[in-house]
Amino acid sequence: MGIPGDRGEGEEQGEQQGEQQGGWHSEWQSGGWQSQWQQPGGWQQPAPPQTPQATGAGPSGWQQTADGRWVQSGAATSSGRATAALVLGILGLVFCPLICSVLALVFGYQSRREIDASGGQLSGRGSAVAGIVLGWIGVVIWALFVILIIIGLAVGDGSSGGGSPSGVPA
């Protein structure tokens, strides 16, 4: 037996056989004993441990650094205006096409401009575009409805000759 690092000739022979067969290997290094499972083919120096910048990911894009501080990760946050444009576009198709659809267009164009200017800090461009598309669909539906009402009123006023000639009910 001896101090760590002393090796007898028998140990070296056994170690060489172990290198050929693979298996569990231990070696004394400056920091203490280093053990590692090796595949057949020889002893390999273990890679030095790397200290990660962020050790654990937390909720909503926050990560804990090695010294225990929490920092916000580089994840992009979604634009609230883009979400509002999408919701208003859906409401414009279901409830009130004129008001909600126009607001969907306003919020959609604003948020798309804001997202493009953010340099990747804001996400949600797809929601903004969907709000714009739904807003335009709502405006077209509203316009068609108004046109049908105007046509209906024009046709209804022209056909008043179906009653009695004097206009007095019989």
The pLDDT tens digits of the residues spanning 54-72 come to 444 555 566 777 887 776 6
The secondary structure of 81-149 as a DSSP string is: HHHHHHHHHHHHHHT-HHHHHHHHHHHHHHHHHHHHHTTTSEE-HHHHHHHHHHHHHHHHHHHHHHHHH
Euclidean distance between the first and the last CA atom of the chain, given in angstroms as a whole number: 130
The reported pLDDT for the residue numbered 17 is 47
The reported pLDDT for the residue numbered 42 is 56
Distance CA 62, CA 135 (A): 35
Least confident among 24-28, 92-96, 108-112: 24-28
The reported pLDDT for the residue numbered 121 is 83
Quote the percentage of the chain above a pLDDT of 70.
52
- Rank 77-81, 154-158, 161-165 by mean pLDDT and report only the highest: 77-81
Please say whether the dihedral angle defined by the alpha carbons of residues 91, 93, 97 and 99, taken in this order, is positive or negative.
Answer: positive
Is the per-residue pLDDT at 37 higher than 50?
A: yes
Please state whether the predicted TM-score (pTM) of the whole model is above 0.85: no
Relative to beta strand 32-38, strand 77-78 is unpaired
Stronger pLDDT, 96 or 130, i.e. the higher one:
130
Token digits of residue 78: 């979604």
Q: Judge whether 24 and 33 are in contact, CB under 8 Å.
A: no
Picking from 61, 77, 79, the residue whose alpha carbon sits closest to that of residue 130 is: 79
- Rank 23-32, 42-51, 127-136, 153-162 by mean pLDDT and report only the highest: 127-136
User: Beta strands of 13-80 (E only): which ranges?
Assistant: 23-29, 32-38, 54-57, 62-65, 70-72, 77-78
pLDDT digits 0-9 by tens, 1-23: 555 555 554 444 444 444 445 56
Helix 97-117 vs helix 80-94: crossing angle, to nearest 10 = 160
Give the residue-averaged pLDDT of 70-79.
73
The reported pLDDT for the residue numbered 97 is 82
The reported pLDDT for the residue numbered 54 is 46
Residue that has been written with the tokens 């009123």 in this structure: 153
The reported pLDDT for the residue numbered 77 is 84
